Amino acid sequence: MACWVSGHCGLNEPALRLAADHGIRWLLAAIFAASCLGKLNGIYRFQEALEDYRLLPDTLLTPVTYAIPVMEFAVTVSWIIGRLVPLAAWTTIAMLVLFSGAMLIGLAGHRRMACGCSGFSASRDAGWLPIARNVALICFACIVLWLELVLHVSPLPPLGLTDSVIALGVTLLLALFVLGGESLVIVGRELAATG
């Protein structure tokens, strides 16, 4: 039997499996939290970066500009909540594949554009380095899926369904509060510019 199925790949000790799962989850949570906060802090730069990709119609540009940090925040919380880890892993993989695909389309068109990345390891320009970083993060998410779904490692006691819904609701309320405040700043600037 292959080691990745049986679990005999050097991660034989439950404590080591637990430490690997726990460490990767918190690392991914920290990366997505920093990315979310960086985008919200520089929302106009992020919107310009999205516009440079030329993949979205103008009508979707603003909603997607705000939706991505909200998704990153939700993924951060999902990495932390025990019961939502598989959802966090699959969402992380999907988002990073989409981001990398967008960069590849830009590179294929020989366009120089801003990455739109934020956080600890943000790059200024879209290119092979951010794509490689995304592939590494996808590998980390796959390792967590393997640990959790194949080896049944669960580092934190999962929250009950009620607790998970409450935590997700509080998370969404906080995200709306942050985005609502930013929206008021945008409206205020537009009113000041026209008046």
Averaged pLDDT score across all residues of the chain = 75
pTM for the model stands at: 0.69
Count of domains observed in the chain: 1
Classify residue 80: in a domain, yes or no.
yes
pLDDT tens readout for residues 102-130: 889 888 877 778 777 776 555 577 778 88
C-alpha–C-alpha distance, residues 70 and 73, integer Å: 5
Residue 2, domain member (yes or no): no
Range of the domain at 23: 13-190
Instruction: Answer with the residue of higher pLDDT: 142 or 116.
Output: 142
Any domain includes 84? yes
- Residue 114 domain-assigned? yes
Q: CB–CB of 130/137 below 8 Å?
A: no
Other C-beta atoms closer than 10 Å to the C-beta of 99 total 20
